[in-house]
């Protein structure tokens, strides 16, 4: 009898630590993200989420531990690992004095995207940006800028897509559209998605799995639809608040 092989994780984080002097910002975090999966990285401000993402992106060097992207070590094989990665966040807007197409052109050249003009046109259509092709990014609405950032993040067809609060500061209808786009990105099975958000509704709607981080450690991990019931609460938001306020009542987990 044949069994289906479990696909190799796109992202593997093992015993990751980051220390600043006496402050331990990330404390022995381990988790994997498989292709086609959306994993939510949750926790209160200061929990270590952004520090973890910055280490995955190679912006920060870990104090110890290992990060691999498709088997490439981010520390020792940085170019190969980051070529398979991209990123979008509301706090990292694209240059506002460049048009949508100019921004995509610049970042496409940085990533050495083959047949770049065709790729740009494909993404402009995919993210419904035809009307804004020649508009400067600085005059676009928050939702329109988010779509441009997602298009930028897909230029190199990344195996790992990192999204830090992608729907913050946009209206509910636009946020719903963005969530749909991200689900479609994951659904083709090519990309793994790591998503941070404080919106528990969208986390439950979009994510296959969640990791609750507090004080640099993973306290909880599991399916966002069933995890609250396993801990005797009615909703993911209640569980989030409990984990944020009473982290010592939960044991550290390996995700």
Residue 62 within any structural domain of the chain? no
- Whole-number pLDDT of residue 96: 94
Give the pair of three-digit tokens for residue 58: 């190679």
Residue 48 zone, left/alpha/beta (φ > 0; ψ -120 to 50; rest): left
Residues near 231 by Cβ (< 8 Å), separated by ≥ 6?
A: 220, 239, 242
- Whole-number pLDDT of residue 248: 63
Per-10-residue mean pLDDT for the chain, 255 residues long? Answer: 64 96 92 96 89 93 96 95 91 91 96 96 94 96 92 96 87 88 90 91 92 91 93 90 76 54
- Residue 42: beta bridge partners? 212
**How far apart, in whole angstroms, are the C-alpha atoms of residue 41 and residue 26?**
13
Other beta carbons within 10 angstroms of residue 155's beta carbon come to: 21
Give the pair of three-digit tokens for residue 245: 């306020």
Number of domains in the chain: 1
**How far apart, in whole angstroms, are the C-alpha atoms of residue 178 and residue 246?**
32
Stated pTM of the model:
0.88
Axis-axis angle for helices 100-110, 116-126 (nearest 10): 130
- Whole-number pLDDT of residue 1: 39
- Whole-number pLDDT of residue 46: 85
Backbone angles phi, psi at 238, to 5 degrees: -60, -40
Give the pair of three-digit tokens for residue 54: 């910055």
Q: In 3-state terms, what secondary structure has residue 151?
A: helix
- Whole-number pLDDT of residue 175: 87
- Report CA 30 to chain centroid distance, whole Å: 16
Residue 113 within any structural domain of the chain? yes
Residue 98 within any structural domain of the chain? yes
**How far apart, in whole angstroms, are the C-alpha atoms of residue 166 and residue 143?**
10
Residue 117 within any structural domain of the chain? yes
Give the pair of three-digit tokens for residue 4: 């289906």
**How far apart, in whole angstroms, are the C-alpha atoms of residue 65 and residue 60?**
13
Residue 120 within any structural domain of the chain? yes
- Whole-number pLDDT of residue 250: 67
Domain coverage including residue 103 = 93-157
Residue 151 within any structural domain of the chain? yes
Residue 110 within any structural domain of the chain? yes
Closest CA to 127 of 107, 100, 97: 100
What is the maximum span of the chain, computed from C-alpha positions, in angstroms?
60
Cβ contact 162:87 at 8 Å: yes
Residues near 120 by Cβ (< 8 Å), separated by ≥ 6?
A: 101, 104, 105, 108, 155
- Whole-number pLDDT of residue 4: 47
Residue 239 within any structural domain of the chain? no
């Amino acid at each position: 009898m044949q069994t289906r092989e479990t696909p190799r994780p796109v992202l593997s984080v093992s015993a990751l630590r980051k220390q600043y002097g006496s402050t331990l910002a990330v404390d022995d975090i381990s988790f994997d993200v498989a292709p086609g999966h959306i994993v939510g990285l949750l926790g209160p401000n200061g929990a270590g989420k952004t520090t973890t993402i910055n280490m995955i992106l190679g912006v920060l060097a870990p104090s110890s531990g290992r990060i691999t992207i498709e088997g490439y070590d981010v520390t020792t094989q940085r170019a190969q690992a980051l070529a398979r990665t991209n990123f979008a966040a509301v706090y990292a807007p694209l240059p506002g004095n460049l048009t949508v197409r100019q921004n995509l052109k610049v970042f496409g050249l940085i990533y050495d995207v083959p047949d770049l003009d065709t790729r740009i046109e494909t993404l402009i259509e995919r993210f419904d940006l035809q009307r804004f092709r020649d508009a400067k990014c600085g005059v676009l609405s928050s939702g329109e800028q988010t779509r441009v950032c997602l298009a930028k993040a897909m230029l190199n067809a990344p195996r790992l897509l990192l999204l830090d609060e992608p729907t913050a500061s946009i209206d509910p209808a636009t946020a719903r559209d963005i969530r749909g786009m991200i689900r479609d990105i994951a659904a083709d099975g090519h990309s793994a998605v790591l998503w941070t958000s404080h919106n528990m509704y969208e986390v439950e709607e979009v994510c296959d799995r969640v990791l609750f981080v507090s004080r640099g450690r993973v306290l909880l991990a599991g399916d966002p639809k069933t995890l609250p019931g396993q801990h005797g609460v009615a909703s993911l938001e209640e569980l989030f608040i409990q984990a944020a306020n009473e982290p010592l009542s939960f044991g550290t987990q390996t995700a």
